[in-house]
Structure 1
Amino acid sequence: MAYLIDFSYDTEPLPGKFPFPGLGPFGLLEESQMNYVGKMMFKWAYWNLMLKGLALPLEPRFNIAGKMLPSI
């Protein structure tokens, strides 16, 4: 099992779904088997793409879509 956290220096980690808002398949701040699969995919991408300087097909900017904001 693994947790998935969408990181930003300006925003606290929020629960939600990634990469498709509301659908997932990865639940942010939830422990799940699917997040473990995502962790293993990221590990492969890190060692085989990022360290070689290849571009990832992901948006580099933090996106708030799909995140559940705390009610004030």
Structure 2
Amino acid sequence: MSAWWHGEWHDWFPIGTRTFPPGAPIAVQSRNDDQMDLFIVGGDGKVYSSWWNGEWHEWFQVGSRVIG
């Protein structure tokens, strides 16, 4: 889920269609003002990513390695 600020807070909305377990490890990287990358470990131990560059894109699996 994400919410955003532009003079006021806008309501929460889902990022893509995949869901992840509560407390799943997540990290974010902003390469520039117009790009944000999210990384999260799913319940299956695999790493997934989504990115924003004006709009959010669907989650995809990063490699095949299982973490943990």
The alignment's TM-score, normalised by the length of structure 1, stands at: 0.29
Higher RCO (CA 8 Å, separation ≥ 6 residues) = 1
Between Structure 1 and Structure 2, which shows a larger proportion of strand residues? Answer: 2
Higher percent of residues as helix: 1
